[in-house]
Amino acid sequence: MILDLSDDAVLRELWTVQRLAYAVEAEIIGFDGIPPLHETLDELRATTETFLGLYDEEGLTGAVSYELDGSTVDICRLVVHPRAHRRGIATQLLDALPEGPQIVSTGTKNEPALRLYRKRGFVETGEQEIAPGVSITHLRSP
């Protein structure tokens, strides 16, 4: 389902899940400078990304955002509420993306994310240092 960020309740729920999910990644990679972790509600509302979300009886369980660059789907964010880890939420969200080649970046030390993307056939295309001792890995689907 497409998330309507003009709806204050949806925006706040997404912002909360995003902060919880990126706090987990920050712990995994040992770096809390992940930009969405510090994003304000207004900054999130102003993004041009398209967000898809999944809900369960407790609320938003996860979201994925993307931008289209021609036929390439640029996956900007993939967040899953910690209470919903290991339930296939990330896979369902990735399955809901538009057809076409996909690109994504994640923390090089974020093994759970790298495993997910590799399992889906993504290959690493490069690595970029973003802070001393911290890098992100770029991946592309075949």
Does 1 fall in a domain? no
Residues 17, 43 contacting (CB under 8 angstroms): no
Which band of pLDDT confidence, cut at 50, 70 and 90, is reported for residue 9? very high
Does 106 fall in a domain? yes
Question: 105 lies in which domain range?
Answer: 8-140
Compute the average pLDDT of residues 12-23: 97
Does 44 fall in a domain? yes
Average pLDDT in the chain: 96
Does 2 fall in a domain? no
pLDDT digits (tens, 9 = 90+) for 97-106: 999 999 999 9
Output the domain CATH number for residue 118: 3.40.630.30
Q: Rounded to an integer, what distance in angstroms lies between the CA atom of residue 35 and that of residue 89?
A: 22
Does 3 fall in a domain? no
**Which pLDDT belongs to residue 31?**
92
pLDDT digits (tens, 9 = 90+) for 69-91: 999 999 999 999 999 999 999 99
**Which pLDDT belongs to residue 142?**
79
When divided into structural domains, the chain yields a total of 1
